[in-house]
Amino acid sequence: MGWLEALVLGIVQGLTEFLPISSSAHQSIVGQFFDGEDVGAAFTAITQLGTETAVILYFRKDIWLIIKNWALALAGRIPRNDPQARMGWLVIIGSVPIVVLGMLFQDAIEHALRNLWITTAMLAGFGVIFGIVDRLARNVRPLDSLTWKHGILYGLAQSLALIPGVSRSGATIAAGLLMGYQRVAAAKYAFLLAIPAVVGSGLFQLADISADPVEPAWGPIVLATVASFGIGYAVIAWLLRYVATHDFLPFVIYRIALAALVAVLLIVGVLEPLPQG
């Protein structure tokens, strides 16, 4: 991978990770315009460490309070039903589905499910579903009313993001809206819930390529990760302000338009469904 390609893909990762438009889909599509190859699930997972670092930095006060109260409640020094301690457990429990399913279907996730026809179908199909859910959303429940049942449902929704084209933030936000949560609350929990799974996946892939006998292109990988961090931090701040007063219709339209464009490019042979990579 060259420096320019890494920079572009890092910017794409930062722009798309938190918007409900699927960063993995954009990585697969944009990557083909450089050398005709799929950038791979490993590269995507590692560059996501940059965007998740942005989440940790942006929500550092919330995360510190959650971790501190969770530990204190576990030690019996504060009530176990403390709201922040409870949020810690909800994030842990909500992370279980994507970890289990990611391990069970790792081979399909890294190969067959990266077929661009599947990605196109997910972009359009889930875009329609997301639009309907957003239109019907009650937008009334705050995040501190999150129940154990809803925490698990959030986690199951997040696991859909293992399929490129769905979107991690899109799936979890849609689940939140469907359960009646406010747009800002749904978006914030989607960010928090992603941290364990995304960081774990990124570190796993990082260890995996480090053990590869072929030396990885560490310079471009670091550049892409740093770029995704900077852009991602700005996108988080913008998105939380945006959803406070707007719906998700522009993202729905974008998903459907992108799906149509990718389908045309696949039909005429500009893009390959399963390129080498």
- Segment 143-200, tens digit of pLDDT: 989 999 999 999 999 999 999 999 999 999 999 999 999 999 999 999 999 999 889 8
For residue 197, which amino acid is it? A
In a domain, 192, yes or no: yes
For residues 202-231, one letter each, b for 16 or more C-beta atoms within 10 angstroms of the residue's C-beta and e for the rest, the string is beebbeebeeeeeeebeebbebbbbbbbeb
- The answer to whether 190 and 169 are in contact (CB under 8 A) is yes
Q: Which residue has the higher pLDDT, 132 or 108?
A: 132
Domain ranges, residue 98: 3-267
In a domain, 274, yes or no: no
SS3 content of the chain, % helix, strand, coil (to 5): 75, 0, 20
Using alpha carbons, select from 125, 170, 161 the residue that is nearest to residue 41: 161
In a domain, 250, yes or no: yes
CA distance 167 to 162: 8
Phi first, then psi: give them for residue 207, nearest 5 degrees: -65, -35
Average pLDDT value for residue range 194-221: 83
Total domains, the chain: 1
Average pLDDT value for residue range 68-78: 94
Strand partners for 141: 181
Is it the case that residue 210 has pLDDT exceeding 80?
no
Q: pLDDT (tens digit, 9 = 90+) per residue, 223-247?
A: 999 999 999 999 999 999 999 999 9
Average pLDDT value for residue range 35-57: 83
Is it the case that residue 99 has pLDDT exceeding 70?
yes
Kindly list the distances between the CA atom of residue 188 and the CA atoms of 64, 166, 178, 216, in Å, as whole numbers in the listed order.
15, 18, 15, 34
Is it the case that residue 137 has pLDDT exceeding 80?
yes
In a domain, 214, yes or no: yes
In a domain, 276, yes or no: no
In a domain, 275, yes or no: no
Provide the 10 A C-beta neighbour count for residue 140. Answer: 10
**pLDDT-derived band of residue 217, with 50, 70 and 90 as boundaries?**
confident
Indicate the pTM of the whole model: 0.89
In a domain, 159, yes or no: yes
In a domain, 157, yes or no: yes
What three-state secondary structure class fits 139?
Answer: coil
